[in-house]
Chains A and B, each alone.
Chain A
Amino acid sequence: MAEEPLKRELANDEALAEEVADEHERRALEKTWGDEPGFWGWLASTNHKTVGKRFIYTAFGFFILAGILAVLMRVQLARPESTFLNPDLYNQIFTMHGTTMMFLFAVPVMEAVAVFILPLMLGARNIAFPRLNAFGYWVYLFGGIMLWVAFVMNVGPDAGWFAYVPLSGPEYGAGKRADFWAQMITFTEVSALVVATEIITTFFKLRAPGMSLNRVPIYCWSVLVMAFMVFFAMPTIAWASACLMMDRLIGTHFFNPAEGGDPLLWQHLFWFFGHPEVYIIFIPGTGFVSTILSTFSRRPIFGYTALVLSLVSTGFIGFGLWVHHMFATGLPRLGESFFTGATIMIAIPSGVQIFCWIATLWGGRPRFKSPMMFVLGFFFIFVIGGMTGVMQGAVPVDLQVHDTYFVVAHFHYVLIGGAVFPLFGAFHYWFPKVTGRMLGEKLGHLTFWVMFVGFNLTFFPMHILGLRGMPRRVYTYQPHLGWGDLNLLASAGGVLLTLGVLLFIVNALRSLRAGVLASDNPWGAATLEWATTSPPPAYNFLYPPTVDSRDTLWTQPADQPVVVGLRSDVREVLVTRTLDAEPDLKAEFPDSSIWPLLAALATTAMFIGTIFTPWAFPVGMVPIFATLTGWFWPKKRQAEERPPEEVKQKHGKRYYKLRGQES
């Protein structure tokens, strides 16, 4: 009869022992995975959340800067013959606006969110190659600062964000303006490529056990496609900008028709990168949409396989459209027809995605929280932008509206609709996970409505202005052309849009200080980033999770197994198999390190030096090589601690002799 209380007592003891063990593990992991304290530790951090947050804040900072330039342009264009900006400054401003938005905001911010979210969503402790991740951030930051310092010193690029030759070439682009632009490309490409490498490796090798490829959340698929597109698009622009710099610095003739070069070569190279770039920005946006839509419709996403295939096929088709930017250059008719076909074809996977989202909404029980509002806004804006895109895919329409404000309207509908609205949705959605506090819901709704109305007021009139013949990139216009009223309306919309962004900033700052504390999973979502605390600890998960379905937090039993047996005194992670995510290896991640920062500084010195002299290239390689060697050189003590049994058995005595000690 006394057995029952005894059992209960034993169970209590066991529970207590478990709690003690957990606490012990927690402290060990915190010590191992946490950033070092102080400024030095801050500089040396390789944690994906620390780096990801920096990345996001920096990219958002560039968004604000480029937004200020946009406001300046809208002030200048609000009335005819305005003298607010002079033509030279206007040229620099529209170039800096486009360049900053595309290279320093849109691509980096999409990668930045992935750096933060992807490892959490996959159940990993850090992103693959964490030191490379830190390096990627620093290189991006220094490249952005270089461009903006040049701009402030009146050496800002002024030939448009695509820097067409011969305008940007040695004949017409005097001074160093175009060189700073071209070198900014090198910085951002290096950064984008290393982050893409991390994303691909994390996606394939660091997934939680059980997360076979058919269970990977759609958002992860979208950033995977983005990363592969970065792989194949960015080398082209890096090569193009290198050729441009060499034409300007050492007298090569890639784009000089007098010596057998060809200005159209630039356009081909640029747009072979430039068009996929749009999808690099837009595809992660669709990943946000699928994620937010599923959570707030409270049902699994409709048509998972169709959505993944749409993403992948958009990635492929995206590389076959570049020539539609060059319809006005006098290409062969057959070429024009082919690229018209390809351009219109992209509507198919986009359409599949939109119908899958509608079906998700249809079959769900939608909750109209602020992230969801941005997604609904995305539908409206993006569909309009997509349709004007299909219109311009037809050569006759394209020739009519080429280089007019119709194009400006179109790509702002696509990019702000397709990327910025989902991104703001993502900000509202993941804010509690990143900061531990909820964003103000009422202010969130207000932000959405002000941005939505402001956006449409700014950019819809531009369609009409374009059809009425207003060309892009003009610093002013005459009163008799009749463009004044619509421009004034667009400028008023710009004020509203700016106000919307300011509301977001106010909301974020207020919520950071006094927002409601967020629970682990405040939205009741299904993916793994919500299975840990808000904000997550340095090591992400006390015990790495396993997964039993696509929407694992909705379906898994309370006793879903966890992973044990990883060391907590070093940064050991579990590597799983590529297809089925079965446990395969234990890999040790390197400690935090200052070397990535030093390597980025050395790289920066070399890149900036080559703007002025070609000798900076060979000379600058020396410190880069030195810092990379320092980066990869293992710490001796730690390496000695981890001679695996296999190596020891194989080498026995010789191994120990090598270390200067006998076994």
Chain B
Amino acid sequence: MSARPNIDVSNLPTFAFGHRPLTWWCTWSLILIEGGMFVVIFATYFFLRTPVPDWPPGVAYPRPFWGTVNLVIILVSCLPNHWAKKAAESLDLRGVRVWLAVMIVFAFAATAVRFVEFGYLNCRWDQNAYGSIVWVSMGAHLLHLVTDVLDSIVLLALLIVGPVEGTRFTDASENALYWYFVVALWVPLYVIIYWVPRWM
């Protein structure tokens, strides 16, 4: 072997953050796929909106109180999320555990409030096409909230019972990235669900 010209890679690191590890590419793939799905959902909303003179058709406006509460919860959750990401990237195990736990509390609260929100939409999914798109788009976002709560809990469990390895910190960092995406989805969806009927 000594005679063969070679590139020795034995000293390379086994984990990293940002776009270097494979996990980042998987997270962004999910974001692109699901983000694309939401773009189509938004397009469907406006496609159904366009030909109708009254919007919402034949039902009252959705009441924005709980939706706004959820907007606040979800936006504030960016702070613990940011700190969890920073802690992960500086290999601060205690920090990741604490901030990830706080993050889960926020995500759980957002999920709980979402169930309340459905009661204030003032329509049913089987009432008309407006009701269908409102319920289903809210439901699609709910699915993201639930998924994120569950996979964050699994990640936290892994970080607590161990064994802790380098890639676990990468996972925590990626988990935070994905939560930003869930947050970024809610902002336009909130505007569309609660304010577009009033403005457009």
Contacts and interface: CB of A to CB of B under 8 A. Distances in A.
A88 interface: no
Size category, A interface? 35 or more
A427 to B, nearest CB: 29
A435 interface: no
Contact of A559 (B5, B8, B40, B129): B5
Q: Which of B3, B32, B33, B51 has the most CB of A within 10 A?
A: B33
Nearest to A258: B128
A441 B133 CA distance: 57
A260 B4 contact: no
Contact of A564 (B8, B33, B167): B8
B48 A209 contact: no
A646 B48 contact: no
Interface in A58-109: none
Nearest to B12: A586
Nearest to B135: A252
Interface string B1-28: 1111111111111111001111001100
Interface in B121-180: 125-133, 135-136, 150, 154, 158, 162-167, 169
Q: Which of A256, A259, A546 has the most CB of B within 10 A?
A: A259
Contacts of B164: 643, 647, 651, 655, 658
A659 B9 CA distance: 29
Given A561-B5, A636-B163, A639-B163, A269 B44 contact: yes
| Size bracket, chain B contacts | 35 or more
Contacts of B33: 193, 197, 231, 234-235
B40 A235 contact: yes
A634 B164 CA distance: 10
Given A252-B126, A260-B52, A588-B14, A21 B163 contact: no
Interface in A559-616: 559-566, 574-575, 577-578, 583-588
A8 interface: no
Contacts of B93: 651, 654-655
B91 A647 contact: yes
Interface stretch (A199-207, A278-286, A369-377): A199-207
B13 A644 contact: yes
Given A644-B13, A659-B163, A575 B22 contact: yes
Given A262-B47, A265-B44, A562 B6 contact: yes
A262 B128 CA distance: 11
28 contacts: A18-B1, A128-B25, A197-B30, A201-B29, A234-B33, A235-B37, A246-B132, A246-B136, A252-B135, A253-B132, A254-B132, A260-B48, A269-B40, A543-B4, A543-B6, A561-B6, A564-B7, A565-B8, A575-B22, A585-B20, A586-B13, A587-B21, A633-B158, A644-B15, A646-B91, A646-B166, A651-B93, A659-B163
